[in-house]
Amino acid sequence: MGFSCPRCVQTYRSFAIFRRKLSTSSTNPSFFEKRRVVITGLGVVSPVGCSAAKAWANVLSGISAVGNLTDAPYEKLPCRVAAQINRDELDVEKHFTKSELKTMARATAFAMIAAKEALEGARWTPLAEDVNACQQTGVAIGMGMVDLGDVCETNEALKKGYNRVSPFFVPRILPNMPAGQLSIKYGFRGPNHSVSTACATGAHSIGDAFKFIQRGDADVMVCGAAEACISPLAIAGFCRLRALSTSFNDNPQKSSRPFDDARDGFVMGEGSAIFVLEELTHAKARNADIVGEILGYGLSGDASHLTAPREDGIGAMLAMGRALKDANMVPADIGYINAHATSTPIGDAIEVRSIRTLFSDNWKQLAVSSTKGAHGHLLGAAGNLESLFTVLACREGKLPPTINLENVSEEMQGMNFVANKAQEWKPAEDKRRVALKNSFGFGGTNASLCFAEYRE
């Protein structure tokens, strides 16, 4: 592979052994004891649309929702682009009373709105007197970052006097409050869980909820993540890390360009996507519409660097390999990977390297795309939004495109990146459509989810 690091060479050899075991492994004896987990509801608040149907249609059409940051505090920053919620499409104040809005961060509001759509789609809103249903329904909703603007404004208020600090300030900035607020609103008394694992938050939330149902801790889980942290301080901080795109301020719709040779950093986005997961027999008993199925969940750590993935991609490979093992699948079963690919020069290349290594015998038959060109990088809410597109790809047989892909970098050529236009997904021999969704976060935290179209 041409690695310059002796440690990378050693770990790559170790992974080669793991990969051989994965491709030849027999059925896991405990697999058939696991409860099947299906998806019965989806909800979205995103730059590309504030409903699951609209977001999916816009992503398939190849539009970009990235625009300019025009307020004065952004004028002197290197990056002046972001993917924001269209205020004309979603007015948060119409969904909540003024008293309610005082208690919640904007990200929490996004999660509550997306959850309402997901629960209505799943037809699952048990009444408080249905004690068993409420006790068997849990929430797992995370947040990657708090709203730094809220912190700055409250600090300025404190300078004017102690009594100017809102009593709801602390609840607003706690990452578990989307989960808490949702649980309180609907009376869900199952697991009340929240993770904050940077850009892997949404994927970890879905994966953890999947495991709660699989092992019998709940029959229904409402899960996902929310993020609303676009502010001058956040943009400045990521600029100082040299993580954001700065070369397309005059052409914002071209700024997020995964796998493209001109990519120069990610574009910050905001929003939420919420899933309703359900144990299969529970869903069938109430004749729920089953959107898709979760088969596996894999996690790993890079154990390498604060912000950069390892050169050899071992963290991504382990997460994908463990998701396949958990799903009782082999690499040849996968037809599509929704990549984490944020449009950074280093990260995109390493993820592709990891895919080629794990799928050494059939990577040329894979389709790999990143929808971040359309909606930017939602940080903690990226994995769940992109999981939603992965589930719909499995269900409808349509692959969402990687937009703004004009010249594939030399080291990544030869792979089907679903460039600029959606593609049909027609598996050979009537095989079930099965996909992986990757999410990686600062600190070297990695998650991979295995989704499939639902079949009896």
As a whole number of angstroms, the distance between CA 66 and CA 62 comes to 12
The single residue of 204, 282, 340, 375 carrying the catalytic annotation is 340
As a whole number of angstroms, the distance between CA 289 and CA 40 comes to 6
DSSP assignment of 269-323, as one string? Answer: B-EEEEEEEEEHHHHHHTTPPP-EEEEEEEEEE--S-SSS--TT-HHHHHHHHHH
- Given CA atoms 259, 263, 266, 271 in this order, what sign does their dihedral have? negative
Residue 76: CB atoms within 10 Å: 9
**Helix, strand or coil, per DSSP, at residue 118:** helix
* Residue 199 is a catalytic residue: yes
CA–centroid distance for 86 within its chain: 20
From residue 187, give the alpha-carbon distance in Å to each of 111, 126, 213, 439: 16, 8, 18, 31
The set of residues, in sequence order, having a beta carbon less than 8 Å from that of 25 and lying 6+ positions away, is: 325, 330
* Residue 340 is a catalytic residue: yes
Q: What share of the chain is helix, strand, coil (3-state, %, to 5)?
A: 40, 20, 40
Regarding beta strands 37-45 and 67-68, do their DSSP bridges make them parallel or antiparallel, or are they unpaired? unpaired
The single residue of 199, 229, 394, 450 carrying the catalytic annotation is 199
Please name every residue paired with 74 in a beta bridge, in sequence order, or none if there are none.
Answer: none
The set of residues, in sequence order, having a beta carbon less than 8 Å from that of 314 and lying 6+ positions away, is: 8, 11, 12, 15, 300, 302, 354
The single residue of 134, 193, 377, 450 carrying the catalytic annotation is 377
Which are the catalytic amino acids? 199, 340, 377
